[in-house]
Homo-oligomer: A and B are copies of this chain.
Amino acid sequence: MELYHRTQIQNVVELDLAALEAVEAGFRALGEGQVVQPPILSMAIEEANGEVDVKTAHIRGNERFAIKVSPGFFNNPSLGLPSLNGLMIVFSARTGLVEAVLFDEGYLTDIRTALAGAIAAKHLARKDSRRAAVIGAGVQAELQIAALKLVRDIDTVDVWARDTDRAEAYAVRMRERFEGLCVNVHGDIESACREADVIITTTPSKSPLLYADHLPAGVHVTAMGSDSPEKRELDASVMTSADVFVADTRTQSETNGELKAWADEIPPFEVVELGKVIASGQSPRIGRDQITVCDLTGTGVQDTAIAGFALKRLLA
Q: Is the CB of B96 within 8 A of A52?
A: yes
Per the bound structure, the CA–CA distance linking A1 and B94 in Å amounts to 29
Per the bound structure, the CA–CA distance linking A101 and B56 in Å amounts to 18
Q: Which of A81-89, A114-122, A187-195 contacts B (4 or more CB under 8 A)?
A: A81-89
Which of the residues B39, B71, B103 comes within 8 Å of A1, measured between beta carbons?
Answer: B103
Mind listing 15 A-B residue pairs with CB under 8 Å?
A36-B44, A36-B46, A38-B43, A43-B65, A45-B65, A45-B93, A47-B61, A52-B67, A54-B54, A71-B91, A76-B96, A85-B98, A87-B89, A87-B98, A98-B103
Taken together, the copies of this chain in the complex come to 2
> What is the minimal beta-carbon distance from A87 to any residue of chain B, in angstroms?
6
Does A48 sit at the interface, judged by CB under 8 A?
yes
Contact of A85 with B97 at beta-carbon distance under 8 Å, contacts A38-B43, A67-B54, A91-B52 already known:
yes
Q: Is the CB of A96 within 8 A of B73?
A: yes
Q: Is the CB of A42 within 8 A of B52?
A: no
Q: Is the CB of B45 within 8 A of A36?
A: yes
Note all chain B residues with C-beta closer than 8 A to A60: 47
Per the bound structure, the CA–CA distance linking A46 and B46 in Å amounts to 36
Q: Is the CB of B67 within 8 A of A96?
A: no
A84's nearest neighbour on chain B, judged by CB, is B96
Does A79 sit at the interface, judged by CB under 8 A?
yes
Contact of A96 with B50 at beta-carbon distance under 8 Å, contacts A67-B69, A69-B67, A87-B89 already known:
yes
Contact of A58 with B45 at beta-carbon distance under 8 Å, contacts A67-B69, A73-B96 already known:
yes
Note all chain B residues with C-beta closer than 8 A to A54: 41, 54, 56, 67
Note all chain B residues with C-beta closer than 8 A to A36: 43-46
Does A11 sit at the interface, judged by CB under 8 A?
no
Which of the residues B48, B72, B96 comes within 8 Å of A94, measured between beta carbons?
Answer: B48
Chain A, residues 1-44, CB within 8 Å of chain B (1/0): the string is 10100000000000000000000000000000000101111111
Q: Is the CB of A48 within 8 A of B96?
A: yes
Note all chain B residues with C-beta closer than 8 A to A38: 41-43
Per the bound structure, the CA–CA distance linking A223 and B241 in Å amounts to 57
